[in-house]
Amino acid sequence: MIQPAVIRKQRLILSLLLLLTAVTIGIGMGIGYSSLSYDRLIPTLFGQGTFKEEFVLFSVRLPRMVVTLMAGMALALSGAILQGITRNALADPGIVGINAGAGVAIALFFLFFPVKADSFVYALPLVAFLGALLTACLIYFFSYSKKTGLHPNRLILTGIGFSMALSGLMIVLISSAERTKVDFIAKWLAGTIWGSDWPFIWALLPWLAILIPFALYKSHTLNLLTLHEPVAIGIGVSVEKERIILLVTAVALAASAVSVTGGVAFIGLMAPHIAKALVGPRNQLLIPVAILLGGWLLLFADTVGRQLAAPDGIPAGIMVALIGAPYFIRLLLQKK
Amino acid sequence: MVKEDIRSIPLIYKLLAGLLFLLAAFVIAMLFGAAETTLSDVWMAITSFATGDKISLIRDLRLPREIAAIFVGSALAIAGAVMQGMTRNPLADPGLLGLTAGAQAALAIALALLPTAHYFALMLACMIGAAVGAILVFGISAITRGGFSALRIVLAGVAVSSLLYAIAEGVGLAFKISKDVSMWTAGGLIGTTWGQLQVIVPCIVGGILLSLLLSKQLTILSLSEEVAVGLGQKTTRIKILLFLVIILLTGASVALIGNMTFVGLMVPHIVRAIVGTDYRSIIPMSALVGASFMLMADTLGRTLNAPYETPIAAIIAIMGLPFFLFVVRRGGRILS
């Protein structure tokens, strides 16, 4: 039984977040390297702008913002699930090495398979998913012990080790590549939103359209998994099976996001935390808030980053780390 | 009991064996590479004033580089050993605990503000940065109620590192010097000159001597804080001196080769298996093993994909992962 007051509060927060996102998009549409003044926005949106205005808005700025928003949502949801199943408040796809696994797979794909522009975009999330899944399996395998089961702390430590080694592998791959490809991978590592075109949105959309409802459907199971293992088993949850299903979901979400944004960490850490502070630990309520919050955070970071150091801007990954790392430190200080 | 047999051999023989090993690694490193050289070339280059293509190649390119590998390898290994002893944490490593990230951030800032700075000034900046990184990480884990638990300190290291790396990259992009910064930090041992060695080597030698002087105190401190106090040790003073050793060694190493994780983690663990837990033996042995290890890794990097170089940091990161996992698995007790 969820108290109506809590539900009302969640609705209010959700609508506020939607409003905030809309305002950020509105502001973001008007600022950037190429000028497009605010009073021209509305006419351009309704198809009455000049060619240049339409090009800037529909082919450059809007797709980038939509991709950023979607990637942020996916990362936030992935983080929320990971924090639930590992029972560790510090889990994040970037910190535990899932992003790095996806990155290595993308780098390999990019370097060794001839690039066909049209199918390439759609294959990317899949390749990233395979790489991330393999990494997640290895991390799970190495942190699982027969005696004590899945040890949350050991999982995080193992993940940190993997993320360092895989970043090293990325550098080996970069150093063996041609110069033009190197630039791409280097940008990818820093977390530049590079997939800012409509095909990337279509490539990302199915993953979100399937996985977000699925995660919401599973949110009750996730609540139970957050409890002590014996309790969850006692209630009748088949812990191992549910945990693996949810882990695969989280990996798929993170990988699909990372395939277009590059190495962005900390969104999956911050968004669920802030959401938890706002609406409490119930996943039914928490997940929607976390998703919107994550999307907005990444969008905000990218919009601000675009303005600094023109014309290329500061990659969103770096902007997020500048906000996220101090947040992470604060969490460390609070935790007993 | 093979282990007991190894431990019963007098230390002097072990050190001699280590020295022989180092010599062998040095000769191999001098012989192999993109250009083939013979033993007599190497001998001529070191002992005589003869000139010639190969001889000057050895004298001006390979020799300074391998000398740098020797000093940096021993410096990082000793820094790792000292950190592990001081914090009684098996996962301590200058790369994992934010020192290299701090040095890199300081380097980026120094390059941005004083583009014409002398090499010595940049090295000082690296040391200050390493100190800031270390103080942040140690500070955070000291304030937290869990104290210096292995997990907490590694997590704090990850958080502080990602913040400092983000600052380094952000500064690099904002001042359009990211190429220069990455030349420094990802360059490894490429292009080491005699001039650089003249600045760096005295620092490292000083750090090594200081660490040898303090090794007895370090052994006592590594037992437990209470024992050290009970035996009349001025723990605060010793800790500050040891901290100085770490900063000297790490700062100088980062100034020369950039990022390097896992050397400081691996070498002391290998050495402990050979010489036991007394830091009077661990520190000299770590220096020898660390130097040989770095020489071998560098030879591998130069020959793996000749004539192109594979970055040494990447090779070591990949080699370090199994080790890291091993320590995490074995140390299950201290991690929870």
What integer pLDDT is reported at residue B331 of this predicted model? 63
What is d(CA A263, CA A319) in angstroms, rounded to the nearest whole number? 12
Q: What percent of chain B has pLDDT over 90?
A: 20
Q: Where are the domains of chain B?
A: 7-329
What's residue A318's pLDDT?
Answer: 86
Taking residues B252-266, report their average pLDDT. Answer: 84
**If you measure CA to CA, which chain A residue comes closest to B309?**
A175
State the amino acid at position A110 in one-letter form: F
User: Which amino acid is residue B187, in one-letter code?
Assistant: G
Q: How many CB pairs under 8 A join A and B?
A: 138
pLDDT of residue B212: 92
Is the confidence at residue A35, as pLDDT, over 70?
no
Pick the range with the lowest mean pLDDT from A104-108, A119-123, B277-281. A119-123
A110 contacts chain B (CB < 8 A): no
**pLDDT confidence of residue B336:** 36
Helix (H, G, I), strand (E, B) or coil at B34: coil
pLDDT at A175: 67
Name the residue in chain B with its Cα closest to that of A161. Answer: B321
Q: What is the pLDDT of residue A298?
A: 93
Continuous H helices in chain B: 2-8, 11-31, 39-47, 53-57, 63-87, 99-113, 119-143, 150-174, 178-186, 194-223, 225-230, 235-257, 263-275, 279-303, 312-330, 332-335
| pLDDT band at A72; cut points 50, 70, 90 | very high
A9 reaches B (C-beta below 8 A): no
List, for residues B81-105, the tens digit of each pLDDT value.
999 888 888 888 888 888 988 998 9
Q: Measured between beta carbons, which residues in chain A are less than 8 angstroms from residue B325?
A: 142, 158, 161
When the pLDDT of each residue in chain A is averaged and rounded to a whole number, the result is 83
d(CA A32, CA A9): 35
Whole-model pTM: value is: 0.84
A164, A270, A336, best to mutate vs chain B, most B CBs in 10 Å: A164
By the CB < 8 Å criterion, does A307 face chain B?
Answer: no
Structure tokens at B65: 């580089």
B174, A314 in Cβ contact below 8 A?
yes
* Mean pLDDT across A91-102: 88
DSSP per position, A98-121: HHHHHHHHHHHHHHHS---HHHHH
User: For an interface test with A, which of B153, B189, B324 has the most A Cβ atoms less than 10 Å from its Cβ?
Assistant: B324
Which residues 181-210 of A have a C-beta within 8 angstroms of B? Answer: 190
> Using one digit for the tens of pLDDT, what is the confidence trace for B205-241?
999 999 999 999 899 888 888 888 888 888 888 888 9
Whether A325 and B91 lie within 8 Å, measured CB to CB: no
pLDDT at position A260 is: 83
Chain B residue numbers with beta carbons less than 8 Å from the beta carbon of A265 are 162
Q: Which of A20-24, A32-36, A139-143, A233-237 has the highest mean predicted lDDT (pLDDT)?
A: A20-24
Res. B311: pLDDT tops 90 = no
Beta carbons of B314 and A171 less than 8 Å apart: yes
Distance from CA of B89 to the nearest CA of A (A): 14
Confidence of residue B333 (pLDDT cuts 50, 70, 90): very low
Question: Nearest-CA distance from A256 to chain B in Å?
Answer: 22
d(CA A61, CA A40): 14
3-class DSSP assignment, residue A150: strand
Contacts of B165 (CB under 8 A, 6+ apart): A321, B101, B104, B105
Give chain B positions within 8 Å (CB) of A145.
Answer: 329, 332
**A329 and chain B in contact, CB less than 8 A:** yes
Q: What does the pLDDT read at residue A310?
A: 62
Q: Which residue has the tokens 């020797």?
A: B70
- Whose tokens are 């638990």? That residue is B149
Say if residues B107 and B185 touch (Cβ distance below 8 Å): yes
Model pLDDT, residue B56? 75
Q: What is the phi/psi pair of residue A59, to 5°?
A: -105, -15
Q: What is residue B1's predicted lDDT score, i.e. its pLDDT?
A: 41
Residue B203 to residue B78: CA distance in whole angstroms: 14
* pLDDT tops 90 at residue B17: no
CB contact under 8 A, B317 and A167: yes
Does the beta-carbon distance from B317 to A168 stay under 8 Å?
A: yes
Amino acid residing at B66: E
* A157 vs B144, B310, B328: nearest CB: B328
The answer for B254, left when phi > 0, alpha when psi is -120 to 50, beta otherwise, is alpha
Residue keyed to tokens 């290329």? A312
Write out pLDDT tens, residues B166-182. Answer: 888 888 877 777 777 77
- Other C-beta atoms closer than 10 Å to the C-beta of A169 total 21
Of A3, A54, A17, A61, the C-alpha closest to A280 is A3
Is A269 part of the contact surface with chain B (CB cutoff 8 Å)?
no
Instruction: Report the C-alpha gap between B19 and A334 in whole angstroms.
Output: 48
Cβ contact B308–A176 (<8 Å): yes
Assigned CATH for B7-329: 1.10.3470.10
What's the whole-number mean pLDDT along residues A228-253? 85
Residue A315 sits at the chain B interface (C-beta within 8 Å)? yes
What is the pLDDT, as a whole number, of residue B13?
A: 83
HSE-up of residue A209 (Cα within 13 Å, Cβ side): 6
Contacts of B161 (CB under 8 A, 6+ apart): B96, B98, B100, B101, B133
Q: How confident is the model at residue A129 (pLDDT cuts 50, 70, 90)?
A: very high
Cβ-based contacts of A326 with chain B (< 8 Å): 163
Answer yes or no: is pLDDT of A300 > 80.
yes
Give percent of chain B with pLDDT exceeding 70: 90
